[in-house]
Structure 1
Amino acid sequence: MAHEQYADLLKVLHECMTECNHCFDACLKEDDVKMMAECIRLDRECADICGYLEQAISRNSPFVGQLAQVCAQICEACGNECKKHDHEHCQRCAEACFKCAEACKNIA
């Protein structure tokens, strides 16, 4: 499949990557950074896999399905962690992660 056929997924991946990067940065500025450690770690993992899957789609990688499956798992883990925290940035991130996980599952 050409990357044009993944246009909606590319948009969702980019939004998730952006929210995770924002959450990562905002979590580092929280008073209790230690409490946010798992959130920060998963934000980084999620942003990285979303960015990588974006690139893989754009170059028509034969591994898009497998990468999408891994991306869905990481997005779900990040979303589950973020939703534990009341910070607005965490809640927005969780929403983006769950949306991205669902989109990835649809092509995995």
Structure 2
Amino acid sequence: MESRAGSALIDVIIAVAIFGVAAPALLTALGLLVRAEARPREQILLVNLAQNQLETAKQQSYLDIGTPYPTVTPPEGYTVVASSSVLSSQESIIAGSAA
């Protein structure tokens, strides 16, 4: 009877040792899996938000030529400076693109 009791105790000690080695590895793998799953979700959310903003911008109507833009009053201490220039057909804003 004593050999069975001693054998059961050794079995329990071995099982606890195996669990003690395997548990941290499993928890680490689980944590990495959760983090890896969260990143694509964030990217999908950001892409959807950007697409919604682009669609909203596309739906905006254009002002008729000659319609003045609304005036902007800057906060005290700031000034607004605007300038414009006419580009000839030979000039390009984006390098390498043909006008």
Instruction: Give the TM-score normalised by structure 1.
Output: 0.25
- Point out the structure with max Rg over C-alpha: 2
The structure whose residues are more often helix, as a share, is 1
Larger RCO, structures 1/2 (Cα 8 Å, 6+ apart): 1
The TM-score, its normalising length taken from structure 2, stands at 0.27
